[in-house]
Structure 1
Amino acid sequence: MAPRPGQNMSELPLDINLRDPRWDQTTFMGRAKHFFAITNPLNLLLSEEKLQNAQTIVENYRAGILTPGLTEDDLWKAKYNYDSAFHPDTGEKIHLIGRMSAQVPMNMIISGCMLTFYRNISAVVFWQWVNQSFNAVVNYSNRSGDATITHAQLVTAYVSATTGAMVTAVGLKALTKHLPVLVSRFIPFTSVAAANCINIPLMRQREMLLGIPVTDDLGHRLGYSSKAAQLGIFQVVTSRISMAIPAMTIPPLIMNVLEKKDFLKQRPSLLGPLQVGMVGFCLLFATPLCCAFFPQRSSISVNWLEPELRAQIKKQNPSTKVVYFNKGL
């Protein structure tokens, strides 16, 4: 790229693509690096001043304005700080607990408590309610596209997912009360998986009804597609259930052995913290690695789109074979 008139050759070039992640998203390792940056819990500690500064740097760069002394590493750091707190389609700031960087600490506490207090029916109901309340915030905050969702739809999604999780948990507990304790330990995971299958599609039902924006390779919007929304939601549900598997299956197996040891029998107060810690360790890796199953900027063949949109794209952009969309998180 030729330098602008008056531009110092040592300055940062203006052709760095900030629309896509820094690492190659066609490879699993590239996506994993991207999501380790996105889900880093330390992002929650960023001050409002740092977030505002990151937003200014990114928006200025996109407008062709260079921040003096800015390096490429500084630019990408600002980009990931910005992405950690602002929605990629709407540009609105996401509530703290709705950010992907809150996934590990919040799920560590919630999942750890669900696994610790699985014997008490009141505790089962309470922690399932807490989990679905948290999930409702996350699913809404990280939805795809810029379509709004009505209060009625939000309430329906929240009540349906919460009820589904509670019914599943209570029903399974009743069915397994005469089975070995180890079986009961897996009830929280089953409930979480069932709730994800309800919560995410309902919270993002407007996307399936109205469609989400699809673009060409350069980011030019070509229209709205419900098919792309369905694919994105399927990918998110798959990732969410997968990231819960290590955190909600490995600790129960370990705790089933440790609880029989004299050390923990004499120190029951350590059971909760130990389980929460193990869940947190699993989530620290499972969250970004499972998010990396699919690219954030996912794609779909033009031939799979709705007939009207497909015809429109082939008429206006006959060379376009694949379109892209933000699948959400």
Structure 2
Amino acid sequence: MSDLVINQKILPDISKSKWDQNTYSGRVKHYFASANPMTLFTSSTTQENSRKIVLDYKKGIIDPNLTMDQLWRAKILYDSIYHPDTGEKMFCLGRMSAQMPANMVITGLLLSCYRSCPGIIFSHWVNQSFNAIVNYTNRSGNDRTTNQQLFYSYCCATGAATTAALGLNMMVKNSHGLAARLVPFVAVAVANAINIPMVRAHELTDGIELCDENDQLIAKSKKLATLSIAQVTLSRIAMAMPDMVLSPVIMNRFTRTAYYRTRPLVQKYSEMPIQTFLAGIGLYFTTPLGCALFPQKSSIEVLKLEPSVQKQLLKWRDPPKVLYYNKGL
């Protein structure tokens, strides 16, 4: 019975991850757990029970029969399903746990439909529709991006990705090798660089929320909003890079084999299943590895903030020395 929570000499701090978030390996372990696609299939009862365990624990209410394993499993499931700032249940397709299965299909589509104009338009429309959902779901804090902003960013990103793909296809139209297969990745990178800042434009104009150790809103920082959005953009591109670069390399080599060249049915029907399968393997690893590049929740000394924020806080009787912010995912 020593693993019961009430028997612990020092109660675990579940406001933090089970693993050290100041190290890359700790963040990778955290995201392998919280971005696990299997959490998508948990029942509403299980989700609500995990939420109750976590919220009760934070209030000091501990079930006498609650074990350490049950507490941490509830915490991991809670982190996967509920927004870290608002506490609201996130839309299932917008969760990081949906990245692997959803992007597996979308990446297979992008890498298989890069030759024809209708295929390019359709695949990038699907991809940017999904990205808009993810960006909106994982925006930082209580930011209320308007429907108009979301629609504009969605249209701009879809247009940019499609234009980049069509333009690059024209440049490599005489190439049937690797160059043409890498066009979807470049288009996706361009779209991410447009979509994420536009969805989170409100943070760039008003600033990202800075809280104290008790999660009380203290101030907002435009400087950190810019940094956070840049980090999220780099993480998303890094997540896409291995499967959208390595898969085309493997497929390009496969198409040159005698087995492929002598089988018309394989040439006609194998590309999308193979690309989808390769993308799934890659995304299983790249999703947590990419998310872990930068800490989701970070701290910053007040003296390192922009002068306007420092000036605002210096008016306080006992101003905090360190503040915390959520960069988003």
Q: Give the TM-score taking structure 1 as reference length.
A: 0.92
CA displacement at 1:15 relative to structure 2: 4.0
Give 2:100's aligned residue.
104
CA 1:185–1:64 in 2, change beyond 3 Å: closer, same or farther? Answer: same
CA displacement at 1:244 relative to structure 2: 0.8
SS in 2 for 1:298: strand
User: What letter matches 2:153 in structure 1?
Assistant: A
The count of aligned residue pairs is 322
User: What letter matches 2:247 in structure 1?
Assistant: P
Q: C-alpha offsets along residues 248-277 of structure 1, whole Å, 9 cap, x if unaligned? A: 000100100111223334223222111111
Q: C-alpha offsets along residues 179-234 of structure 1, whole Å, 9 cap, x if unaligned? A: 35210100000000000000000001111122222123454432122222111111
Give 2:207's aligned residue.
211
2:320 is aligned with 1:324: no
8 Å contact kept, 2:5–2:66: no
Q: C-alpha offsets along residues 258-310 of structure 1, whole Å, 9 cap, x if unaligned? A: 11223334223222111111111111111101111111112334234232321
- For 1:10 and 1:150, locate their aligned partners in 2 and report how far apart those are by CA, in whole Å: 45
SS in 2 for 1:26: coil
2:122 is aligned with 1:122: no
Counterpart selection for 1:237 from 208, 233, 241: 233
User: What letter matches 1:37 in structure 2?
Assistant: A
List alignment gaps of at least 5 residues for structure 2: none
Give 1:163's aligned residue.
159
2:276 is aligned with 1:276: yes
SS in 1 for 2:270: helix
User: What letter matches 2:218 in structure 1?
Assistant: L
CA displacement at 1:318 relative to structure 2: 6.6
Counterpart selection for 1:47 from 43, 46, 55: 43
- For 1:208 and 1:17, locate their aligned partners in 2 and report how far apart those are by CA, in whole Å: 32
SS in 2 for 1:316: coil
- For 2:215 and 2:260, locate their aligned partners in 1 and report how far apart those are by CA, in whole Å: 56
Identity of aligned residues (%): 44
CA displacement at 1:157 relative to structure 2: 0.9
- For 2:47 and 2:61, locate their aligned partners in 1 and report how far apart those are by CA, in whole Å: 18
Q: CA RMSD in A?
A: 1.9
- For 2:281 and 2:244, locate their aligned partners in 1 and report how far apart those are by CA, in whole Å: 11
User: What letter matches 2:326 in structure 1?
Assistant: N
The residue correspondences of 1:142-221 to structure 2 (distance < 5 A) are 142-217=138-213, 219-221=215-217
CA displacement at 1:90 relative to structure 2: 1.2
Give 2:295's aligned residue.
295
SS in 1 for 2:7: coil
Give 1:5's aligned residue.
none
- For 1:13 and 1:207, locate their aligned partners in 2 and report how far apart those are by CA, in whole Å: 42
Q: Give the TM-score taking structure 2 as reference length.
A: 0.92
CA displacement at 1:101 relative to structure 2: 0.2
List alignment gaps of at least 5 residues for structure 1: 1-7
- For 1:287 and 1:66, locate their aligned partners in 2 and report how far apart those are by CA, in whole Å: 34
